[in-house]
Amino acid sequence: MAGGVVVNNGGGKDYPGKLTMFVLFACIVAATGGLIFGYDIGISGGVTSMNPFLMKFFPAVYRKEQEAEKNQSNQYCKFDSPLLTMFTSSLYLAALVASFFASTVTRVAGRKWSMFGGGVTFLVGAALNGAAKNVLMLIIGRVLLGIGVGFANQSVPLYLSEMAPARLRGMLNIGFQLMVTIGILCANLINYGTAKIKGGWGWRVSLALAAVPAAIVAVGALFLPDTPNSLIDRGHTDAAKRMLRRVRGTDNIEEEYSDLVVASEESKLMTHPWRNILQRRYRPQLTMAIAIPFFQQLTGINVIMFYAPVLFKTLGFADDASLMSAVITGLVNVFATFVSIFTVDRLGRRKLFLQGGIQMLACQIVVGSLIGAKFGFSGVADIPKAYAAFVVLFICAYVAGFAWSWGPLGWLVPSEIFPLEIRSAGQSITVSVNMLFTFIIAQAFLPMLCHFKFILFFFFGAWVVIMTLFVSFFLPETKNVPIEEMVLVWKSHWYWCRFFRNEDVHVGADVEMPAAAAANGSKVDPAKLAY
């Protein structure tokens, strides 16, 4: 059982160990799992704004677009086609379902095999899409891509959070989101290039190139070591010990090892993670597994990620300039992610969430007002270049706010809060809620833009207010807390503490508690926990 606790900033104990090259390399390879997700997010918006693609698969949308251009008709409604949005969003439904299957593979076979399966399925989907002759082939290809994303997003964040030393978990886990943003940017750049291909087959190149990140993920996964947590859980205790020594770069791993064993023993008692996750003592984690991805999508980020070229076209940019603007938002997204990489383990998760939320809200208000002032409700206007550039500027500031808050933290926080026995199931819930709302927003955005017009920006702004308040009251700080000790953080929280009985908490049991914390029934000094 665990020894004395060193309460370090965020609470919990600090295990000995350093960042080894081995762990750094494993985390970089694993994080590439984010590439396939990102590539996909970035590619669809650009492809669906390419005329040859629309003419071949969605001729009705193409005609409507041409008419709108000729007649200067309502700009808010020109791309409203359920079939076109089905193309974009079919992937997310597939990912939603796949993540439940991935949960079992991740738990029983280990995290790396889920990643491998994800990469291979994505590869097949990319080939089908690149060779598509009809809408059906396109949609089947996207379903396969979706299955790949479901598996990767289920396993990669867990892998990273388990491999990383607690002090650097935020930084290493955000490698996943960094790869997501790099995937999006590469896709935007590729679209920018392929849109210029004269023969009208540029979209095929865009879709087929998804095979590159897929191959990276599949091959990379083959070389990955298993996490010590997963090895213990699958009964390979000696291998787990060796791995823990290797990833922590020290022989002094007994304390951490025994916490992992305790976690695994508890996990063994639990034969039905899906039923058990509904127990009262998991209520805080379950709430976060649902609320965090739900809120992440309700920031409205994917309106920009999927539809930036369409949106910029709506603002009156030419085809080329629209794709270019998408490249600019893509660049901002990548660079701003570094801000969270370097601050998340020092400032903590909550500060980033709160700052990012306020920044996004301010930008949404400005963008909504600027678009409303020009287009009004009629949707007919000629926007001067400088004015449109101003809108793009605030969209970039909004993207930056997201990129150092809800973007990375939307994956980091859920992956670090579940106890081992429900970790895999919990992560599946996070992935599916994320995918469900990505799907709903992808499907609903164009009709919503058509009906709500510029008010849509205020709609998402209102959600940002709600989620920022939610974080400030209900999300405890999790920085620096060892993953198998996380339960102590919930137990010391002003609201969530009511869901725990003393006998539910088996880590850090021989910890000496400060009087105030002990009186509170807590093993971590609550004074040191920043809420």
Q: Nearest Cα to 181, choosing from 9, 338, 378, 345?
A: 338
Residues 379-408 that bind ligand BGC (CB under 6 A): 407
Q: Which residues contact 350 (CB under 8 A, 6 or more apart)?
A: 471, 472, 475, 477, 530, 531
Residues 98-157 that bind ligand BGC (CB under 6 A): none
Is the dihedral angle over the CA atoms 489, 463, 326, 57 positive or is it negative?
A: positive
The binder of ligand BGC chosen from 181, 194, 206, 227 (CB under 6 A): 181
Task: With CB under 6 A as the rule, give the number of residues binding ligand BGC.
Answer: 15
Is residue 507 part of the contact set for ligand BGC (CB under 6 A)? no
Is residue 302 part of the contact set for ligand BGC (CB under 6 A)? yes
Closer residue to ligand BGC in complex, CB, 330/526: 330
Minimum CB separation of residue 441 from ligand BGC in Å reads: 9
Closer residue to ligand BGC in complex, CB, 41/511: 41
Closer residue to ligand BGC in complex, CB, 179/449: 179
Say which DSSP state 523 is in.
S
Closer residue to ligand BGC in complex, CB, 302/415: 302
Residue whose tokens read 């997204």? 333
The binder of ligand BGC chosen from 88, 322, 333, 340 (CB under 6 A): 333
Count of residues for the chain? 531
Minimum CB separation of residue 409 from ligand BGC in Å reads: 9
User: Strand, coil or helix: what is 292?
Assistant: helix
- Determine the Cα–Cα distance for residues 65 and 322; give it in Å rounded to an integer: 15
The binder of ligand BGC chosen from 177, 227, 424, 480 (CB under 6 A): 177
- Determine the Cα–Cα distance for residues 531 and 526; give it in Å rounded to an integer: 9
In a 10 Å sphere around its CB, with 0-12 CB exposed, 13-18 middle and 19+ buried, how is residue 284 labelled?
Answer: buried
Is residue 44 part of the contact set for ligand BGC (CB under 6 A)? no
Residue 156 phi, psi dihedral angles, 5° rounding: -65, -50
3-class SS shares of the chain: helix, strand, coil, % to 5:
75, 0, 25
Name the token pair of 173. Answer: 């886990």
Minimum CB separation of residue 438 from ligand BGC in Å reads: 5
Residues 436-475 that bind ligand BGC (CB under 6 A): 438
The binder of ligand BGC chosen from 145, 184, 341, 456 (CB under 6 A): 184
Closer residue to ligand BGC in complex, CB, 400/487: 400
Q: Mark the segment that binds ligand BGC (CB under 6 A) among 127-135, 220-228, 299-307, 425-433.
A: 299-307
The binder of ligand BGC chosen from 26, 27, 29, 41 (CB under 6 A): 41
Minimum CB separation of residue 153 from ligand BGC in Å reads: 8
Q: Nearest Cα to 478, choosing from 284, 239, 221, 208?
A: 284
Q: Mark the segment that binds ligand BGC (CB under 6 A) among 69-77, 173-181, 256-264, 472-480.
A: 173-181
Contact indicator for 334, 171 with CB cutoff of 8 Å? no
Closer residue to ligand BGC in complex, CB, 187/507: 187
Contact indicator for 216, 39 with CB cutoff of 8 Å? no
Binding footprint of ligand BGC on the chain (CB under 6 A): 41, 177, 180-181, 184, 296, 301-302, 305, 333, 407, 410-411, 434, 438
